[in-house]
Amino acid sequence: MSSVERYLKPEVIRQISRLDLRAKFIAKGFLQGLHASPYHGFSVEFSEHRKYTPGDDPDDIDWLVYAKTDKYYIKKYEAETNITGYLVMDLSRSMGYTREEAFTKFDYGICLAAALCYLMIHQQDPVGLITFDESLKRCIPPKSRRDQLGILLSCLAQLEPTGKTDIGQSLTQLAAMLKHRSLLMLFSDLLTDQEPVFQGLRRLRHHGHDVILFHVLDRSEVEFPFQGMVELEDPESEEMLQIHADEYRQDYLAELAEFREDYRRECFQIGVDYVPLDTSMPFEKALLQYLVSRRSRF
C-alpha cells in the first residue's frame, strides 16, 4: 500500500475534525496519488481534454499532453467541459450505523461527498446538494462559484441520519424535478426493497441523467464478524431479532452477495455506475470512479 493510500484510509481522515479540511486532504491526497499512478491520464490536470477519435481534426491534438501520456488528446470545446452535478444524500436512520469502524456509513458518505464537491468546484463544475429520507428534503441549486464549496460543506456537516427512507419514491421525485441533464452522485446503504429503487434509477436514466451509485455498507455488514447468540436491531423499524451468528453467517453472506450482484447487474444494464464500498475502504476507489465517469461522458 502506498503512502497516499494509507493517508486516505478512514481511520486517518477521522483524526481531522473539520469537514472542509477533510475534503481538502482527501481530494489533494487522491490527486497526488493519480500523478504517480497508472491512472494519471484521468488527473484533473487533463480534465479539459478528451481522447482523440477518428474524425477529429489532427490539428487539435495537444502534443504536450501526448508527451506526458503517450496518448492522443484534443482540447475540448467549452460547451463540452462543464458538467452539472448533484450530491444526493440518504438521511435514513440506518446510515448512522457502525460496529467498530472510524466512521458510520453516513460519516463515510459525507466525507466522500465533501471531497467530490471539492473536486468539482476545483474543476469549475457546478455542483449542488439534494437530501432525502421518505421524500426529498432539501435542494441547494448547483453553482461553480468558490463560495459554493463553503455553503455545501456547511450543510453537509449539519446533516444527520434520523429518518425512515423511501429511496424509490425520492428518486422518482428527483427525476420529475430536474429539468437539465446532470450527474447524480447518490450515497446510500440501499437497505430497502430493490425494485422501487431500480424503477427510480431507470426513470433518471430515461430523463438523460448520469448516475453514480455509491453503495455504502459498514464493514461488519459486509463481513458479518459476529459470533454466538447476538441480538440485532433493524435500524429502520427498530425491531429486535435474536439469532445464532455462526449458524446464520453462511446464509447472510450468500444473501448479501446476491443483493450486491442484483444491483451490479441492473446498474450495468441501464447504464448506472455502481460502486460497492464499505466503511473501512480508502476513499480513492470511489473518487477514481467519479473521474472515470466524468471523462467517459464525452
Kindly report which listed range (39-48, 74-83, 105-114, 283-292) carries the lowest average pLDDT score. Answer: 39-48
pLDDT-derived band of residue 240, with 50, 70 and 90 as boundaries?
Answer: confident
pLDDT-derived band of residue 45, with 50, 70 and 90 as boundaries?
Answer: very low
User: What pLDDT does 257 receive?
Assistant: 96
Residues 6 or more apart whose Cβ sits within 8 Å of residue 85: 116, 120, 125, 126, 127, 128, 142, 182, 183, 184, 185
User: What pLDDT does 282 receive?
Assistant: 82
Residue type, 261: E
Kindly report which listed range (58-62, 91-95, 171-175, 182-186) carries the lowest average pLDDT score. Answer: 58-62
User: What pLDDT does 189 receive?
Assistant: 97
What is the distance between the alpha carbons of residues 31 and 80, in angstroms, rounded to a whole number? Answer: 22
User: What pLDDT does 288 receive?
Assistant: 78
User: What pLDDT does 24 receive?
Assistant: 79
Residues 6 or more apart whose Cβ sits within 8 Å of residue 137: 91, 131
User: What pLDDT does 298 receive?
Assistant: 41
Q: Who has greater pLDDT, 6 or 197?
A: 197
Q: SS3 letters for the chain?
A: CCHHHHHCCHHHHCCCCCHHHHHHHHHHHHHHHHHCCCCHHHCHHHCCEEECCCCCCHHHECHHHHHHHCCCEEECCHHHHCCCEEEEEECEHHHHCCCCCCCCHHHHHHHHHHHHHHHHHHCCCCEEEEEECCCEEEEEEEECCHHHHHHHHHHHHHCCCCECCCHHHHHHHHHHHCCCCCEEEEEECCCCCHHHHHHHHHHHHHCCCEEEEEEEECHHHHHCCCCCEEEEECCCCCCEEEEEHHHHHHHHHHHHHHHHHHHHHHHHHHCCEEEEEECCCCCHHHHHHHHHHHHHCC
| DSSP bridge pairs for 163 | 92
| DSSP bridge pairs for 140 | 129
pLDDT-derived band of residue 235, with 50, 70 and 90 as boundaries?
Answer: low
Q: Who has greater pLDDT, 233 or 228?
A: 228
What is the distance between the alpha carbons of residues 188 and 283, in angstroms, rounded to a whole number? Answer: 16
Phi, psi (deg, nearest 5) at residue 174: -65, -45
Q: Is the pTM of this model over 0.85?
A: no
Residues 6 or more apart whose Cβ sits within 8 Å of residue 248: none
Cα torsion angle, 72, 75, 77, 81, sign: positive
Given a contact cutoff of 8 angstroms between Cβ atoms, the answer to whether 278 and 267 are in contact is no
Given a contact cutoff of 8 angstroms between Cβ atoms, the answer to whether 160 and 104 are in contact is no
What is the distance between the alpha carbons of residues 161 and 141, in angstroms, rounded to a whole number? Answer: 22
Residues 6 or more apart whose Cβ sits within 8 Å of residue 187: 87, 88, 89, 90, 109, 112, 113, 214, 216
Please determine, for residue 263, whether its predicted confidence score (pLDDT) is greater than 90. yes
Please determine, for residue 11, whether its predicted confidence score (pLDDT) is greater than 80. no
User: What pLDDT does 39 receive?
Assistant: 41
Given a contact cutoff of 8 angstroms between Cβ atoms, the answer to whether 273 and 267 are in contact is yes
pLDDT, tens digit, for every residue of 151-182? Answer: 999 999 999 998 889 999 999 999 999 989 99
CATH dotted code for 82-296 = 3.40.50.410
Percent of the chain residues past pLDDT 90, beyond the cut? 47
The overall average pLDDT reported for the chain is 82
